[in-house]
Structure 1
């Protein structure tokens, strides 16, 4: 029955590139086993998550950011179980200003964080069907670069929100007009809401364009990387919000796993994040395959035995 439905769809939409794009995307998801890859990446992200978080929060006392703002920004998208797990760690680290802690956290974050990033880049290399010919030391340096870029993006995003509020308040006091004040406040609220999505989209786009190590004759354009980056950013935000809502209102991980409930929720969230990032890479790869002629396999209307 299913085979017949697929065959009818193939016959009907064989000339429709969007249909071919969807078919290519689902084929890649199956063949590249991104569900299993997401689970592997989640393991490495767990190893890198806490060192990276400690390093990031150790930098906070050296910035104009307040601890409460950092807590709000970092924990905003996490389910309540995970927030309860991480909040004591966050509060303790932010309240300290230790050079020794900063140095050790920096080393651990670069090592563990770049290891997780290296595995992510290897998975994306497989998604794009290329061979990364970079030397091992170059691969590790690139992984370190993207790890540091992630920390920089988070800090810049937070600082811009803080100074943005101060700048808007100064402009409002200068103008002293109720209508203009309302308009400016509305525009800033919209900007503050969209800004994390824009920053995340840019980060994913740069990751998809420069991370995998494309050969000189197989470069991905910024537009092609932007497609996957936008998809990954929007999907990640929506799925994270949905998962957080589900955990807070319907699930009961604490009763099932006891004190480990927060860790289990964190693992699931990291798995979802890994899956979405890989899905964004597959979106770009599928787009290139169908719309740009970079076919890995010739699309066929025949249903192979593997599809049974």
Structure 2
């Protein structure tokens, strides 16, 4: 128990020393810049795939407060029903550039955690950020397609045993598990590749596990608070939804960066 308490103290001290709170505020700005280009790209791309609008938006609605969903629906939901090739190409450029800035901000925070200097060239670091952005887009597409094809395949297999109704119940329960696995893969890859230091996957599992669980718990908790107790519209008026979105992105940045700090502390303790 003492080791756990000491470890928590180490993580907390490193979070304070590395100014994770300040970096999370910076990261939330880049998250905001990359959020809508990413959604525009995904929602336009989905127009070419056998995916329903509600299933796409449901992936976000599971974790985001209702006010954020209203903001998203108001601005981009109609894009799902329009197949604009030009908009898709613009979305690709905007997504790659904006999201790569967010990855670079994360890289800066992780490098501080590992106490290393970014000595990779601008081109190399930017290419790495873009490659990770493309990878995350692919993972998100897979996450959207799995419920569609997984359910069809599962219902087909279970129909041979007369258990189609039972499978639907089981599948709805597995939906959260599938989402958690997808998030875990994204975080694990991020913690492995982003820092300017050699990290093995086994040294990134605990930070990824913390980020996966904590982000979902914190997002659901924040969503419950906003939907049931917080009245941001009364304080900020029409900007209420935007303020909620910024707070959610800020909290997400803290969780993701803390996961990287956990990996850095574990690596530091092993070296000692």
> TM-score band (shorter)?
over 0.9
1:139-170 Cα shifts (integer Å, max 9, x gaps): 00111111112211111011011111111111
Farther off after superposition, 253-262 or 112-121 = 112-121
Tell me how large the CA RMSD over aligned residues is: 1.6
Q: Whole-Å Cα distance in 1 between the matches of residues 8 and 234 of structure 2?
A: 40
Partner of 2:214: 235
1:36-81 Cα shifts (integer Å, max 9, x gaps): 1100111111111111111111100111111121121223211111
Partner of 2:201: 222
Q: Whole-Å Cα distance in 2 between the matches of residues 187 and 128 of structure 1?
A: 42
Q: Are positions 1:284 and 2:263 aligned together?
A: yes
Question: Which runs of 5 or more residues in structure 1 are unaligned?
Answer: 1-12, 295-308
Q: Whole-Å Cα distance in 1 between the matches of residues 168 and 239 of structure 2?
A: 42
Partner of 1:152: 138
Q: Quick check: 2:107–2:195 contact (8 Å CA) kept in 1? A: yes
Partner of 2:10: 24
Q: Tell me by how many angstroms 1:259 deviates.
A: 0.8
Q: Are positions 1:265 and 2:244 aligned together?
A: yes
Size of the aligned set, in residue pairs, is 272
User: Residues 49-60 of structure 1 correspond to what in structure 2 (within 5 A)?
Assistant: 49-60=35-46
Partner of 2:227: 248
Larger radius of gyration: 1
1:227-252 Cα shifts (integer Å, max 9, x gaps): 10000010000000000000000011
1:171-196 Cα shifts (integer Å, max 9, x gaps): 12222258xx63x4554334322011
Q: TM-score, normalised by structure 1?
A: 0.84
Q: Quick check: 1:202–1:226 contact (8 Å CA) kept in 2? A: no
Partner of 1:3: none
Partner of 2:271: 293
Secondary structure (helix, strand or coil) at the match of 1:244 reads: helix
1:9-58 Cα shifts (integer Å, max 9, x gaps): xxxx8xx4333312211110110110111001111111111111111111
Q: Whole-Å Cα distance in 1 between the matches of residues 45 and 108 of structure 2?
A: 29
Q: Quick check: 1:71–1:90 contact (8 Å CA) kept in 2? A: no
Question: Which runs of 5 or more residues in structure 2 are unaligned?
Answer: none
1:237-272 Cα shifts (integer Å, max 9, x gaps): 000000000000001101111111110000000000
Q: Whole-Å Cα distance in 1 between the matches of residues 100 and 233 of structure 2?
A: 32
Farther off after superposition, 139-148 or 232-241 = 139-148
Q: Whole-Å Cα distance in 2 between the matches of residues 22 and 69 of structure 1?
A: 38
Partner of 2:112: 126
Q: Whole-Å Cα distance in 2 between the matches of residues 268 and 64 of structure 1?
A: 33
Q: TM-score, normalised by structure 2?
A: 0.95
Q: Quick check: 2:106–2:194 contact (8 Å CA) kept in 1? A: no
Secondary structure (helix, strand or coil) at the match of 2:181 reads: helix
